[in-house]
Amino acid sequence: MNRAATVLKIIFLTGCVIYAGSSSCFAQSCNGKILMNETFGSGKSTRLSSGQTPYQYVTYSCVSDGEYTINNAVDGRCHGAVWHEVTEDHTPNDVDGNMMLVNSSYQSGEFYSQSVSGLCKGATYEFSLWFLNIYNLTFTRGCSPSPVYPSVTISVETEDGILIKSEDSGLISSTNGPAWVRRAMSFTLPLNVGTVKIRLINKNLGGCGNDFALDDIQFAQCSACSSPKVYVPEVFTPNNDGVNDRLALFFSEPALFELRIYDRWGSVVFSSDALGNQWNGTYLEKPCVEGVYAWEITYSVADLNDKFQKLTKRGQILLLR
């Protein structure tokens, strides 16, 4: 399989820091339509869906290496009281809301994945999430020889594993008090892709300083869908020789459309709204005369509010027998 990557522009937004309990800096950078919003729910802890993580799910708060749980707080007494005491998740106004607590494995690799489908080909998207290093800086100062901080690669791939783009989060350092930090990236979806898989990969091994919480994992559409390209042949020859006997349209991607063919007097001699319904050069079951015919295609493109904008393209075709 050819796994050549499509090169896309990616932007990391790292300047937004928030202390636990605050709601500042929560808005999406692109101000787009949110398609996925993983807040991990509230109330009783539940495990992630099958295949989302190779880590072991546990129900207790003090997760060990290679384990995770979904909880509404971080217990500062865990592992000799080296973690921050965190009494609420990141999501604003989320009463009893949960977050994902991760104790990094001593084998680096993927710890979370999520597929997003029904995407608009050619549009720009933003993926974002919030990290909280739950190690207290006072303790990590004593790590020997030095702290191992989380450093996460965010990878965007097609369904069959072809890389679209990956980027590193940078180190998520420990702090004196619990502090959420946001990481986000934007990219333009290739025209042949409608579903992507987001993978979060921990580059560093487990150890002192490499335990963290995740919350508010979002995927947002930042631009309208791109207009599908339309191709109409310049000539067709409906002479029943089995070659080019019907007028076939070609779209770069599926689209709702309506085609009209006009004769020289402006009368509609053919119309269609399905690619399989092609003009055979007749009108009222009689062959049309040779010559130039005008065509008009109206097709629809969805905007960010799921409303359809109609576009029109016009041209001419030569009918020869």
> Mind listing the pLDDT tens digit for each residue in 203-246?
998 999 999 999 999 999 998 777 777 889 999 999 999 899 99
Q: Residue 146 pLDDT more than 70? A: yes
Question: For the segment 12-48, what is each residue's pLDDT rounded down to a tens digit?
Answer: 333 444 444 333 344 446 778 899 999 999 988 889 9
Q: Where in the sequence is the domain holding 276, given as residue range(s)? A: 230-319
Q: Counting Cβ atoms within 10 Å, is residue 241 exposed (0-12), middle (13-18) or buried (19+)?
A: exposed
- CATH code: domain of residue 81: 2.60.120.260
Asked, for residue 10, whether it belongs to a domain, the answer is no
Mean residue pLDDT of the chain comes to 86
Same domain, 246 and 196: no
Residue 121 sits in the same domain as residue 269: no
Task: With respect to residue 310, please indicate whether it lies within any of the assigned structural domains.
Answer: yes
Q: How is 239-269 classified by DSSP, letter by letter? A: SSSSSS-SB--EESS---EEEEEE-TTS-EE
* pTM, rounded to two decimals: 0.70
Sign of the CA dihedral with 315 first, then 308, 184, and 207 last: negative
Q: Are 187 and 239 part of one and the same domain?
A: no
Domain contains 2: no
Q: How many CB atoms lie within 10 A of CB 240?
A: 11
Same domain membership, residue 101 and residue 78: yes
Whether residue 152 contacts residue 14, with contact meaning beta carbons closer than 8 Å, is answered with no
CB 44 within 8 A of CB 82: no
In terms of domains, do 162 and 57 share one?
A: yes
Domain count, the chain: 2
**Is 90 contained in some domain?**
yes
Do 122 and 174 have their domain in common? yes
Domain boundary among 184, 202, 221: 221
292 within a domain of the structure (yes/no): yes
pLDDT at 307: 67
* Last-in-domain residue among 202, 221, 240: 221
The predicted pLDDT at position 20 comes to: 41
In this structure, are 22 and 156 located in the same domain?
A: yes
Predicted pLDDT at 118: 85
> Do 239 and 126 belong together in one domain?
no
Residue 283: which pLDDT band, with cuts at 50, 70 and 90? very high
Per cent of the chain over pLDDT 90 is 63
Report yes or no on 212 lying in a domain: yes
Confidence of residue 196 (pLDDT cuts 50, 70, 90): very high
The pLDDT of 250-256, averaged and rounded, is: 76
pLDDT in tens, 94-103: 889 999 999 9
Residues 246 and 210 in one domain: no
Q: Is residue 167 part of a domain?
A: yes
Q: Are residues 101 and 194 in the same domain?
A: yes
Q: In CATH, what number is assigned to the domain containing residue 301?
A: 2.60.40
**End-of-domain residue from the set 187, 221, 255:** 221
- pLDDT given for residue 271 in this prediction: 96
Task: Examine the domain organization and report whether 174 and 312 are in the same domain.
Answer: no
> Is residue 194 within 8 Å of residue 160, measured between CB atoms?
no
CA gap 4, 285 in Å, rounded = 51
Residue 9 maps to a domain: no
Residues 27 and 125 in one domain: yes
61 or 123, higher pLDDT:
61
**How high is the pLDDT of residue 93?**
83
More confident residue, 307 or 129: 129
Contact 69, 60 (CB under 8 A): yes
